[in-house]
Each structure stands twice: as structure tokens, then as C-alpha cells.
Structure 1
Amino acid sequence: MRNGYDKLLNDLSLDDYFNDFYSLIARDGGHFILDGDRSLHFKFLTELQKYDFDPPIQIKNLDEDLRIIAKNGILSKSSIFYFTKIISYFLYLKNIKFEGIVDEWLQNIEIPEQIKTVSKIFDKNGEFLLEFDESLANISHQLVSTKKEITRELTKAQYTEKLQPYLVDKQLHLVNDEETLLVRSGFSIVIKAKIVSRSANGFFYIVPNSITNLRARYEDLVVAKYEAEYQLCKKISAELSKHLLFCKFINTAFDRFDKYQARIFFAKKNDYIFIEPRQSSKIVLKEFLHPAIKNQNPKPFSIDFSKKTLLITGVNAGGKTMLLKSILSAAFLAKYLMPMRINEQSHIGSFSKFKAIIDDPQSVKNDISTFAGRIREFSQILRSEPTLAGIDEIELGTDSDEASALFKSVLERLQEQNHKVVVTTHHKKLAILMSANEQVELAAAIYDEKIEKPTFEFLHGMIGKSYAFETALKYGIPKNIIDNAKQNYGEDKQKISDIVERSSFLQSELKLKIDDLTVQAQKLKFARHLAEIAKENAQKEYEKAKLMMELEYKKAIDMAKNAAKTKDQKEIHRALNETHKIVKYIQANKIKQTEHENISVGDTVKYGQSTCAVLEISKSKVSLDADGKRFFVENKLFFERAKKIHSSHSKKEDKGIKISVERPNTAYIKLDLHGLRVEEALEITDKFISDSILAGLHEVYIYHGIGSGRLAGAVKEFLKTHSAVEKFTDAAPNEGGYGATIVYL
């Protein structure tokens, strides 16, 4: 890890998270901290994640190289190459059609023309392009030519008849950057050569004297090439020295963008989002999933930690420690704008310091006990500025009764100093002592006694039971020992424990009932919403028909007036007959409208022998529900035969509209949004959900793809605010994975 957070990140189980993140950082030795205005960084990240772009290549740290050119020194070819890669990357970014704050930032980076020229002198492997230096080009061509000549001479010697008995093979061997022949001892009888090396089997790698001059010429050319490259590096370094301030600026700008791009690609890779911390000390987590939780069906945490102290009690292995780690991790990640899996409606305050007291500080080497180590860490917090601290098993290492009294006083002092503290404990006494404190929030881990397992869920305002006896029995301690332990524990303490357990059970039961009523209320609210929409549509149809009738009526009047002006008696009679027909039609429809305009969506009517609910009224037909079966009737026929029984607007029926629909045979319906614009997709999604509700569906699939993540993000944002959506989740890998969302209605 980097930036001095090694221990904290290890204590919070964030090591793997940051190792994964650092694999996306392009700068060698780069870190995750973004200096400067956090709000500005958040806006930049929010805008940048809308676009597709390529990540930069790995770039070494150039701080030392900047110091060299500041003293008019000469940079190595590799250092210059990295500078040109930074310049080339920014030129690439400036050609992308960004908008908003990203575009504004990039357009303010003005790259001098001389620096643009420097950025074009390398190939992708970091070698100088020969067209930029004639001398270097000539030397390189001579090197190639001499190399070929050496190879030809070696091949010629290789096939000399006298040398054949001494050759080990017919290959050329590269040894110490020289092409050689592999021969047996005695070769000097037939060929004069220089021995370069010996093989493991005792053979000799040789270079014939006939190519010694060629080899010398080749080595001279290599030296000449180094000299030419040195002169070119000297020339480029001088140019970079002239633009030293720009080089420093672009190096810093690259570091900044490197941290942005790593966050963006990390978020896309893991389906994370960014949360901007607020200017408060409140923490309200909604569906936060700690990065270390990798099991198949992970349970995210939701917790309201608005007070100064959160005291978590309850069963072993019930998630107390992970909840503590989750609270501190979410706050830490938000502080540095690191992406996470969380509901964007979460509220995370701003904290300058973090402290996690989780491991056992006992050390023989340091001659310190568990309790003494804990006390030393508490004293450090008491002497520091306001801190977000997490203390796991606060009473560890000493007598619980004494510890409860001591830590009650310590926690109260921490509250006075505006520290915010998360505490876990197995012991109820500290929780009971702190329960009357207005700045203490209690949370109890829930244990399912039926399956004898923790649920990893928490009840607010409760003190949890440790379930020590139940756990011991489950893992093989004989029942008679457990019974004896309960007697030793004491009848009064057991009664207190039973009361705590009973209150937790009742609270849990109440929570389930409230959740069920909330779901029913949402469904009822949505049904009423649909009925209001249908009624509004029917009213619009009525107003439209009324307008048409008024126009027809005016037409009839005009025809009558025109007929009165003509002198032709036949034309007068014909016009008056047409007028009478129009008036008769208008009166007939007006009477029907008057008779039936009181029937609206949601009313109960008698139609034939059936009692039906009116689901929808359109221009041509009416949708009815009779005992859960939906059918359609022609508009004219319905209003002739239907008789209203109950109105949806009467006080008697004000409890709600009951709509029964026939459930289709299929268990789900799929909606494919591929290729659609966001606005178009959301409109179709809204109608799709409404249709699914009317069809009685409880589970549907929406396929939006992955792509840039913009469409998927917009769909999920829409689903979060839709009153008919109970919850939604990503589909299984074989059903579309992150490219599909399952919606529960």
C-alpha cells in the first residue's frame, strides 16, 4: 500500500481492493489520493464516466528527470520517450469530443508546437524514427548492411568442406551479442578463429578471423550510433529545458488524469458508483457491500448512524465486525472518491481522521497485554482531533463489569470531543449503561433460532443476545453442562437475557409486518395511479368528442342559414334535411354521453349477468374484469347494457380500487432496449412496467447491455424511483449478467 494507510486498509480488509485498483494506475509508484477541491474532482469523474476512451500506457516516475533538465542536463532516450508518451496521450484526449468540465480542462492545456514535434520522433518501441535525423539514419543503414555481410561470411565459413568434421551443428549461435559457430576441439587445424565462449559440453563458440575486420567495423558503427543518439538526446533535452514549466505542468496533469482514469475503469470493471461526501458527520448507508465480501449471494449492509456512537451487540459471527468495517470503509472510500457498491441515496459525512482498533495488540516482544494495548490506542484517540473510530470487542482482555464502567466514561468523553465511534461487544452491561445516552444508537445482530444461524441483519434500538449457550450446544458441548452453566449464570441474569431476547424477537416480527404493509401500500398507490391515468384519458376522449360535436353543430347551423338565403326550393329542402340529420346525430350522442358519463374507471357495474370492475375506457372499447378474468366490450354496447353499482369516488369505496387480472402462463416478460437512446428507452420501460403490473406479473427482465454503462445506469436510476418496483438486481451470468436487470414488481 501507499500514503501511510497500510495498517488501516489491512484492518478494514481493503488490501485486495486497493491492489486491484493500483493495477490500473499507469504511473509507476502512483497513489490514490486526489489533491485539491474534492467537489471539483467529483464533478470531473461524474462527467468523464459518460465517455469511452483508452487508458494510458505505463509511465515511469519523471520527478528526477525534471530535476535533470532544470539543471540543463541531458535525459536518457527512455526518459524522453516517456515524456513524449505523455504528450501524445494528451493530444489523443484533446481530439475526443468531451463536454463540460472535462473538455474545458483539456482545452486549457496548450501544448507548444516544438513539444508536439518532439512527441513524433519515437516509434511504439521507444526507438528514434530515422527520418528525424539524417546522420542517425545513415549509421543505422550501415549497421544493417554490415550485419548482413557478417552473416554471409559466417555462413560461407560454415559450409567450408574442411570444417565439416568439426562442426557440432549447422546453426549460428548468438553469444555475447555475436553470431558464432559451435565446433569441436581441433578446429584450429582447418580455420583461424577467435574463441568467444565454451558450451556446457566442452564445445567452442568461435568467430572466424576472416570477419574480424567486419566485426570491428560493426562495433565502430554501434559506437557511432550511440554518439548520434546522444547528440539527439542532448538537442531534445535542451528543447525540454526551454519548456521546463510546461513539462512540470503536463507531468502533474498526467498524474491527476491517471487517478481519474483508474477510478473510471475500476468502477466499470466492478459495477461500482461514486459517492460525494457531505459536510456533516452523519452516515446513512443503503445497500453497501464491502469489497472483501465475495460469497455467491452477498448481503449488503444498510444502517443509520446519525448519532455520535453506534453500539452493536448480538450473536457471534453475526456480522458485527463486518458492519463496523463497512461503516469505516464506506466513509474512507467516499473521502477519497473511490468507487464502491452502494445505493446512491446513501449519505456519508466528511471525516479527517480514521482509527480502527480491531486486532489484538498483545505482544510478548513489546511486553504489552491485550487490555494495555487497547487502552494505549484509546488514549491516542482522546489526544487527537475528531476521529471516525471503530472498536471491535471493546471489553476484550479484562473483567467485563469493570470494563463496562470504564468504557462508559471513555465513550462519553469521546462524545464530548466530537469523535464518532462504532463499537461492537458481546456483553450487554455496557449496552444497558449506554442505552439512556441520547447520542448512542443501539443495533442488535439478528439470530434465526429455527435454522440456528445468524441472518447478518440488524435491528435498531435493540440490545442483542450473545447466544453463547445455544452456540455451545450446537457445537457439541453436552446439554447437562449447558444446564449447569445456566444455573451458575444465575436466574436473575437469565431473566434479563430472556427479556432482551423477547424484545428482539418482537421487534423483528414488527419489522416484517411493517415491510409487508409498506409493499401493500405501494401496490395500492400504484393501482390508484393507474386508475387516475385511465380516467384522465377517458376525460380527454370525452372533451375531444364534445369538441367534434360542437363543430358539427356549427356546420349544421351554417348549412341552415345558407339554405335560407337560396331561392331554389329543392336546394332549400335538401340543405334543411342534411341539417336535421346532423342535429339528430348530435342530440342522440349527447343523450348517450349524458346517460353514461357518470361511469368511470374503477367503478363496479352490472353487465349482463356479471358484476364487473371497469379497468379502462377508450374511444372504441371498454376493458372489464369479472372474477379475475379480463375481457373487452364494444363501447356502444357497453353503455347500452351496463348499470353502475358502486362508484370509485364514493366514500364507501374510498378504501381503494380492487383490480383483479388474469396472470399469464409465462413466469416473466423480457424487454430489449439495445440500440435505443436513453430518453426513448426510459419511456418504453415505464410503459412496459405498467403493462406488466396490469398483466399480474411479479418478475420481468430488462436487457440493456453493458456498453459504456450510460443506458444501464439510466435504467437503474429510473427503477429506483419507480413506485411499482419493489427491488431489482443484475441477472445471472447465463441470463445476461450485468447486461440485464431482473425487476421485481
Structure 2
Amino acid sequence: MQQTNEKTIIQKLDLDGYIQQFKQFFARDKSVAMMGDINQHFRYIKALSNVQFPAPAPVPNLDRELNLLKKQAVLSLEEIHAFVTMISYFNTLKTVSFPEPVASWIQGIEVHEEIIEILGYFTEEGDINPERDPELYKLERAIRQNKTDIKETLYKLAHSSKLRDYLVDTQVHFNGGEETLLVRGGFNNAIKATVVARSSGGFFYILPQSISHLKEKESALLSNKEELIYRYCKSISATFFKWERFLAYINKEYDRFDHYQARVMFARAKEYEFILPGKQKRIKLQDFAHPAIEDPVPVTINLDRQIMLITGVNAGGKTMLLKSMLSAVYMSKYLLPFKCDASKTEVGHYKSIEAVIDDPQSVKNDISTFAGRMQEFAKLFGKEDAIVGVDEIELGTDSDEAASLFRVMLDELRKKGITFIVTTHHKRLASLMASDDEVELIAALYDEERRVPTYTFLQGSIGKSYAFETAQRYGVPVGIVNRAKQVYGEDKENLNELIERSTSLEREMRQKIAKVDEELKAVEKQKQRLEEEEAKLKEAHRKAIATLENRYNAATKKAREALKAKESTEGRRLLNIAHQRKDFKQKEIRKVQEEPLKEGDKVKYRSHKGELLSIRGKDATIIVDGLKMRVPLSQLKRRGDTSQIKMPQKPKEAKVNVEKSGASVSVKLIGMYGDEAIDTVDKFLSDALVNGLSEVQIIHGTGGGVLSKLVTDYLKRHPKIQKFYRMPGNLGITVVEL
């Protein structure tokens, strides 16, 4: 029953071609569903995606053979070789350097020596290796020699003079598995032979009696070989009976690996991505492409509410959007890869997927379209935690009555945790549900200039159907369309224009927002570039000043040494002038580099100390001893060491740049004494702050909890720590945000 439902949903979502392509990568046919923990399956698939490995050989389903082994039956050579193929493949995989957790899984499959010995019996073609058995070796040689004798005898007969007039050609023909000659009628006058068959041209395929003894010998040799092979099959089957549980395990693990490798190989071949279903009931698709469409317009859509109502232009892709969203849920549910931007795509996990898409009308069952729809909706009341797609929800009945009925049913069904994706042309249903916070409105867009659908969608709007435009596009005469518009009525047309206008306005608004966002990003990038350039210039200026100062100091040092050697009053005077000019230059540099005052700075006005509150033009408002004062900005000075850019601190900035690469993001305290651990943490946090790190980890272990408590007490007192917390799932690590 489950397989039937699975086939039905695959067909309804147009995924049958996709599934057939995927199944070609299986080593043996099976359902696409995998039993077990989906998160574990995902880890194995991602691990396999990062390494190259040999593809498994095709193997038939062996459930029947395992049941025969339980009854101590004798398997055929082909059936035994199927088990040998699986075991040999796992032995081959052990030579591949797999990442975890695949490596532990493959290396953990141990094969007993009795089974390994059986593997050596077989050739790659699946036959018993004659090199391992002298009797089989002799039989193989005898069979080959006998075949050679038959061919040589036939060759001689084909070139003999007495048979030349009756031969159609001199070739040896295989007919019914027998080597024969092709001759004309009357051949019995020249040779004794048995007719094997007659050709379409009226000629005869004959088996000369002169090789009949060779054929009898061949038959006896083959019979002996079959008897010998049967003894091997009997012996191996007896051994397999002992290891039946191991073979059942290998059979199961082969299927499991087959599931993984088929998905990995399929994803590589198609350049598809894997999406692991999340716990939240939401669907967020980014650049999704339905595999059934050859040249699709990528779908980007977000559903984080319980009901999505899709309206808009006819033949504009509403149904395909519905199928795309359900297909994404189906493929992620079974970890089947598909085309999308995986970094921005999220798909929730739903217990079941239902598609109410086809017209349920049936003459055989005497059921109308609407009655069939009601039957399908009635079944939904017995389901929970499902996602349901309904195409053309108003199908088969009065639109106003249907709008009220479906509004109530959708409200009731969503209480059972059911998520709906609905397409409709009912403006009444859309207007009834538009105010609901749990309803997401989607409009299929139409290009008015080119008069064609765009196959794109706008969230938050009700779309116009464009029935008249669609009819005209598909060949309905313009006069008929115009008359239909008159019958439709001016008021309803105005309503459509209003809907269309609101959709256009929202689309324009979103385009403008997107444009502003792009411009803002460009400004941010330009700002970052200018800040980096400013930092580079400041660093270059600092280095230039330092170089000049070093040169000056070196020059004055040499001058002093020269004066010591030969005392000169004039030289002393010139040296003092140089020192004065150096001090004057330093003051000029500090004055040029002084930062302008800004709000919040600590300032000094005459003999008063206060804080700068605001600046307006050439005046500033300050607060001194609780009193606000408005004073000339030029008469304010910055208090303390903050009045200038701290030139001596520039080397510290350079020091940070040098040592940044050496900073560590984690420190290990396990095994340390209390005082030693706190000293280590203190130095570690200082280095992290100097190097500009925003988040670090302290590894103290769990143990008795002493180190953990000491670290916690220390971090609570540290002035530079924003917050800290234990790492989820590992209480032995504390994460610190600086």
C-alpha cells in the first residue's frame, strides 16, 4: 500500500522520470526510501561525497537465496557468486581512505577466514578458478582440446574435394549451439551427416558423422565438469549455511551502501545538492529547479506559514510552483539531491505528502468533480503533520459557496498540523483569507508589455487571472474577447485593475528596496575600503616619522662624538638649535593630528571641567557640575591624554599586526593547578584582546568541577568580557565572547 501511494505521489508531482534516472545508479533495484535515522544517513552521504570510490557491481536481490540457505538448500554457482561479489566489494572498500563515520563502518565489517577462502575459488567472471583444482584444470584442458579437434575436422571437410560441389561456403556455422556446415541438396551422395536445420534459402545445416564421437566426448566432459561444479556448490552452500546470519547482514549493508553511493553518484552526475529536512515546518527555496523542466525559471520562494494561497495569471506556473514545493519536500524527505542553492534552502520534515491535483471525476464510479474533491478532503481529517497541495481548489462548484466552505475546512485542518499549498482563481477565497496571519499570499506575475507570463512570483499579493489576455494569446479573436469584457462588467474589471495595480506597486516597492539595499552594500564596501586606506596611510606616516627620527638621532649621535673629539662652541650651539627644531616639529605633528571634539568627550572650559553634550556650528553645549552651558567651541580643550591621537601608541598598533597570527582561539587547562590555570587564562585573554579576537574557548574539562568553578568566578570579574556560556553538548568547554 505504501509503495502504491509513493508511486502515485511521484506521478502527480512529475517526478517519475527523475526517479527512473536516479534508480539507474543502484546496483540492484529497490525503493528509494531508506529506513533508520535520516540524520545518520545524511552524515554518511556527506562523508562519501568528499572521496572517490569504486562503484558496486550489479547484484540481484538475494532474499530468496537467504531463505533457501536457512533450509540447507544447495545454491547455484551464479547465486553463490552474487554473495561473493558483495563480500569482495566490501574488502575492496577497506583499501579506500574514507572519512568518518564511513571509515569505522567499513573497517568494522570483519569477514571470517572460511568465507575469505571461498572468495579465492572464483574468477572475476564468476567461474570456479581451475588453477585451484587439478581435476577441474584437466577437464578444462580436455574440453578446449576437443573443441579444437572439432573445428579442425570441420575445416578439413570444408576444404575436401569430394564435398566441394555441395558446399555453400567454407565457413563453420553455429546453429542451435552446434558447429555445422552449410550445404546444398544431394550432399548425402558425398558425406554422411545429420541435418540440424534448414536455412531460409533452402540450404541445409549438417553435422558430419565423422565428428559425432567428438561431440559425444564433449558432452561427457561437460557432464563431468557440471558434476564437479555441483560438488563445489554443495560444499560452499554448507559453509554459507553456517554463516547465514553474516550473509544476511552483508546483504543488508550492501543495500545500505548502495543507497548512499547511488545518491552521491547521481548528485555528482547532475551537479545536484542535498538538503537535510529541518524540524521547523517551513519551506525556503532558493534557485530551485524542478527536474522535470528542461529549461526552468529558478524558483525562489519562502513559506513559513501554514497556508500558501497562489493566485494570478492562467498558465503562469501556479501548478508547477505547487509541484516544485511538494517535490522539494519529497526529495529532501528521502535525501534525494536536486538543483538549488543549498546554502539558502531550507525544507521542513513532514510525516506525509498529499497532492490533490487531478480531476477526480469518474463515469465508472458515478462521481462528480466536486464530490471527488470532497472525498479527498474528507480523508485529510484523519491525517496529522502533513503537507497538502491542492490545485484549483474551486474546481467543480459555485465559487462563492466553495470559498466559504474551503475557508472553514482549511481553518479546521490546519489545527491538525497540516500545511496547505493552494492554487485558486477565487478572488473571494483570497479576500476571505488575506487578513489571516497564517496565510501567505502569492501572485503569479504577468508581463503586460509582452503579454506573456513571467513564471515568477510575488509574495504578499493577490494576482489577476488575465483570462481575457490568455484567451487572446492562444488565438481567440479580439472581437470576441472585447465582447466578453463588456459582459464581464466594468465594476469587476475595475476590481481586477485595482488588484493588478496593488501588485505592481508592491513589486516596484520591493525592487526599489532591493536597489537601495545594493547601494547601501556598495557604500559599506566603499567605507570599509576608505577606512583600510586611512589605516595604511597612518601606518606609513608613523613609519616615516620613526625613520626620520632614527636618522636624526643617529646624526646627532655622530655629531656629539665629533664634538667630544674636538670641542667647539659653535658646534654645541648648532646642536642645540637642531634639538629645538625637532621638538617644534613634534608639536606641529601632534597639533595637525589632533582629533576634532565630538559628543561625549571630556572637556575643559577655562578652569572648569565638564562633558560635551552637543555641537551646533561654532558653539557647543557642555555640562559642568550639573549645569548646562553654551560656549564657543574654539575655547574647549579635551581633558587628559585623550586630547590628541596617541602617537606613542602607534607602535602598539603595529605590534598587534605582527603578533595577530600567533593568537590562539582556545586554551587547554586540563591537568593544571588552580593558580596556574588562572594565570594561563589571564594571559590567554590578554593575548586574545590584543589580537582583536571576538570569541574564544577555554577547555577545562568536567572532572570534579574545580577548574570549571575557578574559571567561572574569574570570568565574572573580568571587565572586558561581554558574556560566557558552556558549549552545548560539551560542558567541559566554556565559550567566551570578548
Q: TM-score range by the shorter chain?
A: 0.7 to 0.9
TM-score, length-normalised on structure 2?
0.75
The equivalent residue for 2:245 is 245
Specify the code of the residue in structure 1 equivalent to 2:345.
S
**Does the CA contact (< 8 Å) of 2:383 and 2:416 recur in 1?**
no
Per-residue deviation at 1:582?
A: 11
The whole-number CA distance in structure 2 between the counterparts of 1:9 and 1:125 is 38
| Residues 590 and 33 of structure 1, relative CA distance in 2, 3 Å threshold | farther
| Residues 369 and 64 of structure 1, relative CA distance in 2, 3 Å threshold | same
Q: How does 1:111-150 map to 2 (within 5 A)?
A: 111-150=111-150
The equivalent residue for 2:693 is none
Q: How does 1:93-104 map to 2 (within 5 A)?
A: 93-104=93-104
Kindly indicate whether residue 93 of structure 2 is the aligned counterpart of residue 63 of structure 1. no
Per-residue deviation at 1:576?
A: 9.9
1:266-299 alpha-carbon deviations (Å, 9 max, x no partner): 111111111111112111222211111212xx32
Per-residue deviation at 1:8?
A: 0.7
Q: Secondary structure at the match of 2:519?
A: helix
The whole-number CA distance in structure 1 between the counterparts of 2:80 and 2:473 is 68
The whole-number CA distance in structure 2 between the counterparts of 1:164 and 1:572 is 135
The equivalent residue for 1:310 is 308
Per-residue deviation at 1:326?
A: 0.9
1:303-328 alpha-carbon deviations (Å, 9 max, x no partner): 22111111111110111111111111
The equivalent residue for 1:505 is 504
The equivalent residue for 2:151 is 151
Per-residue deviation at 1:240?
A: 2.2
The equivalent residue for 1:22 is 23
The equivalent residue for 2:427 is 428
Q: How does 1:261-410 map to 2 (within 5 A)?
A: 261-295=261-295, 298-344=296-342, 345-410=344-409
Per-residue deviation at 1:12?
A: 0.7
Per-residue deviation at 1:552?
A: 5.9
The whole-number CA distance in structure 1 between the counterparts of 2:123 and 2:386 is 52
Per-residue deviation at 1:584?
A: 10
Q: Secondary structure at the match of 1:354?
A: strand
Aligned-pair Cα RMSD in Å: 3.1
Specify the code of the residue in structure 2 equivalent to 1:239.
T
Specify the code of the residue in structure 2 equivalent to 1:420.
T
The equivalent residue for 2:9 is 8
| Residues 462 and 169 of structure 1, relative CA distance in 2, 3 Å threshold | same
**Does the CA contact (< 8 Å) of 1:73 and 1:237 recur in 2?**
yes
- Please list every run of 5 or more consecutive structure 2 residues that lacks an aligned counterpart in the other structure: 596-738
**Does the CA contact (< 8 Å) of 2:180 and 2:205 recur in 1?**
yes
The whole-number CA distance in structure 2 between the counterparts of 1:327 and 1:484 is 39
Specify the code of the residue in structure 2 equivalent to 1:569.
A
The equivalent residue for 1:412 is 411
1:56-101 alpha-carbon deviations (Å, 9 max, x no partner): 1211111111122222222111112222221222122211111221
The whole-number CA distance in structure 1 between the counterparts of 2:410 and 2:418 is 9
Per-residue deviation at 1:466?
A: 1.0
The equivalent residue for 2:206 is 206
Specify the code of the residue in structure 1 equivalent to 2:19.
F
Per-residue deviation at 1:334?
A: 0.9
Q: Bigger CA drift: 529-538 or 457-466?
A: 529-538
Q: Secondary structure at the match of 1:100?
A: coil
Specify the code of the residue in structure 2 equivalent to 1:149.
D
Kindly indicate whether residue 41 of structure 2 is the aligned counterpart of residue 75 of structure 1. no
Q: Secondary structure at the match of 1:446?
A: strand
The whole-number CA distance in structure 2 between the counterparts of 1:580 and 1:232 is 110
The equivalent residue for 1:516 is 515
The whole-number CA distance in structure 2 between the counterparts of 1:546 and 1:34 is 70
The equivalent residue for 1:620 is none
1:561-581 alpha-carbon deviations (Å, 9 max, x no partner): 9x49x9x825999x9999999
**Does the CA contact (< 8 Å) of 1:47 and 1:102 recur in 2?**
yes
**Does the CA contact (< 8 Å) of 2:307 and 2:438 recur in 1?**
yes
| Residues 62 and 592 of structure 1, relative CA distance in 2, 3 Å threshold | farther
**Does the CA contact (< 8 Å) of 1:556 and 1:582 recur in 2?**
no
Q: How does 1:621-700 map to 2 (within 5 A)?
A: none
| Residues 552 and 3 of structure 1, relative CA distance in 2, 3 Å threshold | farther
Kindly indicate whether residue 187 of structure 2 is the aligned counterpart of residue 187 of structure 1. yes
Specify the code of the residue in structure 2 equivalent to 1:370.
T
Q: Bigger CA drift: 332-341 or 434-443?
A: 434-443
Per-residue deviation at 1:114?
A: 2.9
Q: Bigger CA drift: 224-233 or 105-114?
A: 105-114
| Residues 157 and 490 of structure 1, relative CA distance in 2, 3 Å threshold | closer
Per-residue deviation at 1:45?
A: 1.4
The whole-number CA distance in structure 1 between the counterparts of 2:384 and 2:60 is 37
Specify the code of the residue in structure 1 equivalent to 2:24.
S
Per-residue deviation at 1:219?
A: 0.6
The whole-number CA distance in structure 2 between the counterparts of 1:587 and 1:60 is 93
1:651-687 alpha-carbon deviations (Å, 9 max, x no partner): xxxxxxxxxxxxxxxxxxxxxxxxxxxxxxxxxxxxx
The whole-number CA distance in structure 2 between the counterparts of 1:155 and 1:474 is 76
Per-residue deviation at 1:461?
A: 1.7
Per-residue deviation at 1:503?
A: 0.9
Per-residue deviation at 1:19?
A: 0.9
Larger radius of gyration: 2
Q: Secondary structure at the match of 2:163?
A: helix
Say how many residue pairs are matched: 593
1:352-411 alpha-carbon deviations (Å, 9 max, x no partner): 111101111112122111111111111111222231000000001111111111111111
Per-residue deviation at 1:477?
A: 4.2
Q: How does 1:508-587 map to 2 (within 5 A)?
A: 508-545=507-544, 563=561, 569=565
Specify the code of the residue in structure 2 equivalent to 1:306.
D
Q: Bigger CA drift: 526-535 or 250-259?
A: 526-535
The whole-number CA distance in structure 2 between the counterparts of 1:37 and 1:146 is 59
Q: Secondary structure at the match of 2:162?
A: helix
| Residues 203 and 498 of structure 1, relative CA distance in 2, 3 Å threshold | closer
The whole-number CA distance in structure 2 between the counterparts of 1:533 and 1:251 is 62
| Residues 253 and 522 of structure 1, relative CA distance in 2, 3 Å threshold | same
Per-residue deviation at 1:486?
A: 3.5
TM-score, length-normalised on structure 1?
0.74
Q: Bigger CA drift: 535-544 or 510-519?
A: 535-544
Specify the code of the residue in structure 2 equivalent to 1:9.
I
| Residues 498 and 130 of structure 1, relative CA distance in 2, 3 Å threshold | same
Per-residue deviation at 1:542?
A: 4.2
Identity between Structure 1 and Structure 2 (%) = 41
Q: Secondary structure at the match of 1:341?
A: coil
- Please list every run of 5 or more consecutive structure 1 residues that lacks an aligned counterpart in the other structure: 600-745
| Residues 586 and 319 of structure 1, relative CA distance in 2, 3 Å threshold | farther
Q: Secondary structure at the match of 1:163?
A: coil
**Does the CA contact (< 8 Å) of 2:307 and 2:421 recur in 1?**
yes
| Residues 593 and 68 of structure 1, relative CA distance in 2, 3 Å threshold | farther
Q: Secondary structure at the match of 2:302?
A: strand
**Does the CA contact (< 8 Å) of 1:556 and 1:579 recur in 2?**
no
Specify the code of the residue in structure 2 equivalent to 1:506.
L
